[in-house]
Structure 1
């Protein structure tokens, strides 16, 4: 059974859970018989789909592996992924112009899909790595690692229409019996029993055009995603207070979870627990505050980039520039030019 790290507590959207349910049905199993008709109806409701806790989600994943006797369940289920399994986020990324923009948009709205970690994109010159964001003390469950890597690859191909683009993958679990299937699907170098689970590809893949790109639909669907983000977080008093404390902390250089929790009069453990209830982790909220302040500062031309980096609590301007591009898909310089009064 999967052991859930406390940092992974959060919620998972019903649409994402339905990917596992679709796979169970493809193998001749009834999710209704396994988990109860009422529960499945709630998960798959188009009007008001439920959100499961991470623990509940991993429970379904464990049971799916057990009932199918499929050690490669995540790999096989991931091949079935479609935009609908990501809810509104699936349609946001479909409207993006390029693959790099789609990844940026997915990072922005990933909490609408699940709260199990962000889709990190790390660029090394001409190579890009997408490690599995997993902070547990042990390796992620094989089925989950398979699912994440396979769905990333499949969605990238659906977005770009490039079915034969080779991708390199490292998995932490041992070599499976049918390792050739992994090689055929990903098309690149596959390493098992690796030290980290990650997907890798040439950086120029980020420039691949998305075949269904639409600026008009991007605005419409993006607005819907933003509304869902607001409903998900609901900005309770706790979140407003936290963001205020973080904004103040940026000015004095004290933005660690322990420092902020102390200023709020709670323990850091309580801080993380309260955040998980809103499908957030501390880093995400800090990123949101920094992004909001960065956009405000960049609109004020009197602040140099080095000054903005300092005001946001970065010790290096390059670290700020890297973070801003991850948030927005553009450099601070480009954003400043675009936001300048016409």
Structure 2
């Protein structure tokens, strides 16, 4: 791959909250730079590196990036934590992570490979001055924590972990964290595990997020104008379809146990169309997502399966006669 020149990335604002929480819980000083990003939706990757270096200077712990990653909570990850719970297996969760990882951590390009019975996730090369041992540690550790906690895969069998930096004195810290063989001074930062693990089911272990999704489903069902059994199944199928970016009428009709023609006739008898039902679900989900101050409008548009943020904003204005930003201001949602 061609070397990246003058690469400038950014970091999800929730990771700034993660560092703030870590410092508070460990009695570390909150630097002016760390305090200045607490209201930021995103901030420069260079500031991320600098704050991590500041923390290391006052708290020079070995494998600091691994230690920080263990404090991660769903709100620090934003959209990825929501999407994880809509996946069926590890393959789907990793596909989503690959699609959206830059929304969390736009520090290094991510590549995935399948070869010789092994699946690998690899961070591509960057000039050495743009990454550090700590940024590499936390990038890898956040992915592993995401898979274990929010994809619910308790026994994540990792074959090998590769880091670019030289081997530290205490390699055992890394082997305990990853429960795997760890190699240093490697060409790439990389994680590998058996292809068979891709079929590992998502257990939805995080009760907070699972409860949120269940509340969404129940709220949607309770607001149906015609609360029949068919309508309940239809609303659930549309909800799941939107979360999985697959809500075409053919797919949803099959989940409801009807043909497309039967579903269209059912909706026609109620004076509705399929697209109206989809927009109804989107509207209710949008209002719930807007109440989460950690989700940006771009992330919410992705969660609602809009290809562009502008499309979401136009739809919201039609629903509510105001913009999403105005709705948040009116309801005192601080972002």
CA RMSD of aligned residues (A): 3.1
**Equivalent residue number for residue 42 of structure 1:** 39
Any runs of at least 4 consecutive aligned residues in structure 1 with deviations exceeding 4 A, and if so which?
220-224
**Equivalent residue number for residue 211 of structure 1:** 203
Computing the radius of gyration from Cα coordinates, the structure with the larger value is 2
Structure 1 position 112, deviation (Å): 2.3
**Equivalent residue number for residue 86 of structure 1:** 77
Q: Deviations over 1:6-62 (max 9, x none)?
A: 45313221012322222222321142x44364x25414xxxxxx2111222222122
Contact 2:153 2:200 in 1 (8 A): no
Contact 1:8 1:115 in 2 (8 A): no
Gaps in structure 2 of 5+ consecutive residues? 205-209, 214-236, 246-281, 287-298, 313-335
- Equivalent of 2:100, from 106, 109, 112? 109
2-structure distance, mates of 1:204, 1:116: 29
Q: Deviations over 1:83-141 (max 9, x none)?
A: 32211222112221111111111222233223223432111131011111333256841
Write out aligned runs for 1:1-342 (5 A).
Answer: 6-31=5-30, 33-35=31-33, 37=35, 39-43=36-40, 50-136=41-127, 140-158=131-149, 159-163=151-155, 165-212=157-204, 216-217=239-240, 219-220=242-243, 225=299, 227=301, 230-231=308-309
Q: Deviations over 1:305-338 (max 9, x none)?
A: xxxxxxxxxxxxxxxxxxxxxxxxxxxxxxxxxx
Structure 1 position 201, deviation (Å): 0.6
Gaps in structure 1 of 5+ consecutive residues? 44-49, 235-342
Q: Deviations over 1:159-205 (max 9, x none)?
A: 13324634410112122232112111212211122232211110111
TM superposition score normalised by structure 2? 0.58
1-structure distance, mates of 2:23, 2:186: 29
Closer, same or farther: CA 137–76 of 1 in aligned 2, 3 Å: closer
1-structure distance, mates of 2:168, 2:129: 19
2-structure distance, mates of 1:148, 1:70: 17
2-structure distance, mates of 1:206, 1:36: 37
Contact 1:107 1:118 in 2 (8 A): no
Contact 2:20 2:34 in 1 (8 A): no
Closer, same or farther: CA 165–22 of 1 in aligned 2, 3 Å: farther
**3-state SS of 1:174 partner:** coil
Contact 2:34 2:51 in 1 (8 A): no
1-structure distance, mates of 2:98, 2:49: 21
Deviates more, 1:135-144 or 1:19-28: 135-144
